[in-house]
Structure 1
């Protein structure tokens, strides 16, 4: 029996198969790239930030004690929110307020006080010139605790209630959606303090070397044998 025709047919079939497979691969639609997952939002821990950034222990203590820190942290973490801006008075600013005025506050009043130091949106430094012209900035403390901003020669000041204008000392942190700025005074809203609270007396500065030398030179001589 002659097998040559069968072998030839098989050989021709083997040659045809790679070409057909190649043709199908060329005509196949391209596979779409799978998009990379979006990065998870970066959440700033306000408690850690204020505890590590500097002298804000008194302010942070009041935030934690009144649970106001949870309100601010929730705003900072909100995916659809506008962010949060915290105006953090330094410890020396709280020390300048008469201790009785603060110790006599109820928990609700203390909570209202610290919430007046935060705005429910992210405010970069570049926005303060416009804020000074546009009117008071709303805070978590409500309409009665809006903050007035002044901007002159690059200096930013904030005032609310009885407060003499507090100076914005520095930017502690400013990356959307969170901004934290240091204040040299505590904002004292009238909704918390019906009358102006007393200011703690400022101790007299110690005399400098020149003053000490002058006093020694002019002090009467002590009697002999003293």
Structure 2
């Protein structure tokens, strides 16, 4: 009888342990770590071949702005990242000749203030506004294509979007094999912005007339030239002398 009671107690304790163990494990298991903030530089660095674009993002301090806005945006961002070869294929001095403000504009021109998938880029209303837009106007990109091919044009260059480094809201990062040069910085200058041709200063009207009168035909001699007075006096004296001689002869 005692052994039966002991067996029942052991069975009761064993069943209790099986029931409590999963709950205890669930309570003591560590919670999953929260997802960290998006790191655009890390995405580009992991993909490789974006050293120049990363450097310009840091030099212009736009990486800090984008990282901050990624944590609060409701629209997301799309980044079109030129490869190192894209920058190397530019004409020498293209980037170095830009001012600091123009470099900022160039970097922001590669970012749209909205998240787009490749499929959405085929149906967007062109031009698509970029982060470079401001009070002076909208710096836009144009997207065309069909199927799986999407082309992007700045008005100066056109290239194909070849690879999606990331395509998950709120950030899309796409590879482009050409630097997207905005027409606002690299387009043909309007005639109004060209320097006016140099012209000689107009000559005053009086100066021309005086110059012509002195450098042209010689002026007529004056009626009262200083050198004429001795000649006239000599001739008059000669006439008077002859008159006196003739008068003496008569007497």
Aligned residue for 1:99, secondary structure, equals coil
Conserved 8 A contact 1:161-1:190: yes
Conserved 8 A contact 2:130-2:138: no
Max Rg structure: 2
Shift of 1:42: 4.7
Conserved 8 A contact 1:75-1:84: no
- Aligned position for 2:127: 136
> Alignment partner for residue 182 of structure 1, among 175, 184, 190?
175
User: What are the Cα deviations for residues 111-161 of structure 1, in whole angstroms up to 9, with x where unaligned?
Assistant: 100100001111112212212xx2211110114420000012421010113
User: What are the Cα deviations for residues 199-218 of structure 1, in whole angstroms up to 9, with x where unaligned?
Assistant: xxxxxxxxxxxxxxxxxxxx
Give me the TM-score of the superposition, normalised by structure 2: 0.57
CA distance in 1, matches of 2:65, 2:107: 11
Flag the 1:122–1:40 CA change in 2: closer, same or farther, 3 A. farther
> Alignment partner for residue 93 of structure 1, among 80, 83, 86?
86
Runs of 4+ aligned structure 1 residues displaced above 4 Å come to 39-42
Asked if 1:148 corresponds to 2:142, the answer is yes
- Aligned position for 1:106: 99
CA distance in 1, matches of 2:155, 2:102: 14
CA distance in 2, matches of 1:74, 1:154: 32
CA distance in 2, matches of 1:48, 1:195: 37
Asked if 1:43 corresponds to 2:34, the answer is no
Aligned residue for 2:52, secondary structure, equals helix
CA distance in 2, matches of 1:186, 1:125: 19
Shift of 1:187: 0.6
Give the total of aligned pairs.
155
Stretches of structure 1 lacking an aligned partner (at least 5 in a row): 1-38, 197-226
Shift of 1:162: 1.3
Shift of 1:76: 1.4
Matching of residues 60-75 of structure 1 within 5 Å: 60-75=54-69
> Comparing both chains, which one has the higher relative contact order based on Cα–Cα distances under 8 Å and sequence gaps of 6 or more?
1
Shift of 1:170: 0.3
Aligned residue for 1:103, secondary structure, equals coil
Conserved 8 A contact 1:145-1:161: no
| RMSD of Structure 2 on Structure 1 (CA) | 2.0
